[in-house]
Amino acid sequence: MYPENPGVALHRRHATILPTTATAVGMEDTLQRLAAFAVRLGQGEAIGPPWQAGYLPHGTRRVELRENSAASARWICSRRGCVTRLSAPKSRLPDVARVAPAPPVQDLAHAQIAIVTTSGLVPHGNPDKLRQSYSTEWKKYSIDGLSRLNPADWESIHGGFDTSAANTDPHLVLPLDALRALEGSAYGQLHSAYYVTAGVGTAVSAAQRMGAEIAAELVAADIGGVILTAT
């Protein structure tokens, strides 16, 4: 059948259909392929996937293990299906740094805990002009003496998600209310400030630099643990 024939959609799940051209011009080639395919079926040969055996896809998927990953394969598709030609990738993906997890906090009951967030939560009006995306800097804001975050005083300027819920309730991205409730029981005390940037589109080099800068401040402040909140 011609691939755009309505009969293909009706019968492809229970019938094996070989493609033909739109007109009878390709009939000779089609009959030769059909005959060869029929012989294979008659001899009980295993029939491979459509892009190898030349029939139209049945519209079902099977999980298979392959010797090569998709990164090392180049797919060529046509009306008759798809075939793959293995080739070495032209470029390698950059290596991703592997960071060993920090050890558990030894004395959580007496530890000072800090908040670091990529939520873009800043004082209302964004007085320090923190960028909405492609961040190259971070900010530090005091929460000393605060038990809750008033939506009238705080907003998220993050450019990568709908900030309406966070701006209605800033605790969705910076859970100050919950942390105050746990302060003195689940952990020692909360650091007097939190650290923030907008985590969208940031270059790895910039993220590494900002992380190192924030970490240096945390170490200097004798912070025992950090709560990371995203979006």
Q: What is the pLDDT of residues 55-70, one digit of tens each?
A: 999 888 777 777 777 6
pLDDT tens digits along 157-180: 999 999 999 999 999 999 999 999
Query: Could you give the percent of the chain with pLDDT greater than 70?
Result: 88
Asked whether residue 97 carries a pLDDT value surpassing 70, the answer given is: yes
Q: Once rounded to an integer, what is the mean pLDDT over residues 74-102?
A: 62
**Sequence-ordered list of residues with C-beta below 8 angstroms from that of 32, at least 6 positions apart, any chain:** none
Question: What integer is the mean pLDDT of 98-116?
Answer: 92
Burial 73-89 (b: 16+ CB within 10 A, else e): eeeeeeebbeebeeeee
Tens-digit pLDDT profile for residues 125-142: 999 999 999 999 999 999
- The least confident of 67-71, 86-90, 125-129, 197-201 is 86-90
- Residue 206: CB atoms within 10 A of its CB come to 16
H or E, element range at 190: strand 189-196
Is it the case that residue 52 has pLDDT exceeding 70? yes
